[in-house]
Structure 1
Amino acid sequence: MPASRSSRRADMAAQPTCFHEADPRLALWRRAGVEGLGTFALVLAATGSGIAAARVFAAQPGMILPVTAVAIAAALVGLIVALGSVSGGHYNPLITLLQWLGRERSGVCTIAYVAAQLVGGTLGGAAAAALWGGPNGSTGGLGWHGVGGELVASAGLMLVVFGCMRSGRTDTGPFAVGAWLVSDIIATPTAAYANPAVVFGALVTNGPLHLATGSAVPYLLGEALGALVAFGLIHTFFRAGSAA
């Protein structure tokens, strides 16, 4: 008989793994609050570093993307290491939703996490715009031409996240995700937003990461499709609930 959702979550809690909180009995408002705070800090660092790089390298625009990629990855690694034991360190609704689809997280927790992440991301983008000011300096994304880029970027990121999660190597996850993200940002035409919370923040920020409203839906669609592709691959190649 298949394991129940509650028993599978208990198994995941008993086996230390990346991107799961150390103590799932901790009050939900605390765990969701950390997800909101971490997402706020991540999007603030991502959008703020983009604005800073655009100003510093105004005469060398080719430097903006790699500098921003390193800044975003470094911020994410630091935030996962610092706060991940409380909430799991997702800072990305795609991770939370795939855990829910995999019966590793309850529906109530998923709703709380995703809401906190989206609010945190929006506030992070707005904070960067308020701190730096000035015009957005961006074309606002690729519109529907960005669906494929976000699909590939999100699928790759989720493969790394859930591959680390299944590997049982709890200390490697933040660094593997950060390393992949540098490549993901540089290699994809959309610069790998790969996170609905970042899209929400990009709508209200300035600088290279700013998105026009016409790009938001295509990017979110690509991210959702990419996450589902990764979900299928992970469950094909990894035995559920076990280390590699």
Structure 2
Amino acid sequence: MSRPDILLYTANTMNGWKPLIFLHEAEIDYELVPVDLGRKEQKAPAYLKLNPNGRIPTIVDRGNGDFAVFESGAILWYLAEKYDRFLSHDPKERSETLQWLMLQMGGIGPMMGQAMFFQRIAKPNGDEVPYAINRYVAESRRLLEVLDTRLAGRDWLVGDAMSIADIATYPWARSYFWATVSVDGLPHLQRWFDRLDAMPRVQAALQLPEPRPSVFGEGDITAAAQENAARFKDQ
């Protein structure tokens, strides 16, 4: 039996879900290798040969000489070109898609990630920094307002169909609960959430490598928050 081209190393995080959403929505076969971040498997020597930054996700394309790609935005871009999906050939629309992809990579992800870190890891472990919390929550809210404005009168961030910009942005923006960022008064953003929430393959991807409903404000939030804080206490 032949193996699928794509070998995906990932975990159930906002960045880790991005290639999963792409592969599921495009109905592409892949092999999944879960990475246990708590055990720091992403720092293992063999993994660092694939991803020198020691983060997830990473893909290895067996169909292209075992070519490794790291950084979630770069992975989406690579997959879009390999499979000709979710990235327009029109030069202007393609550029717009990459602009919104870069906004997620350079803004939404880092800002919301820091909001999560200072509230979900630093604070419960005795290192509360109110200034940092306020800054990152406020900036995250501002960026969600940018998304809301963009989505006024449109179904997707770019063009008339889902793109890698939507795929990259959705798991981060949708995790507003975990970052304690309000989405009140952002109706266009919430309609976009509803649209993606209703897509079965997108939601199936979010269950891998294992479900993490607490990020979206579901399940036993208290227990999940305590486990998360303890797991990353040394970070």
TM-score normalised per structure 1: 0.30
Flag the structure with higher helix content: 1
Flag the structure with higher strand content: 2
- The structure with higher relative contact order (CA 8 Å, sep 6+) is 1
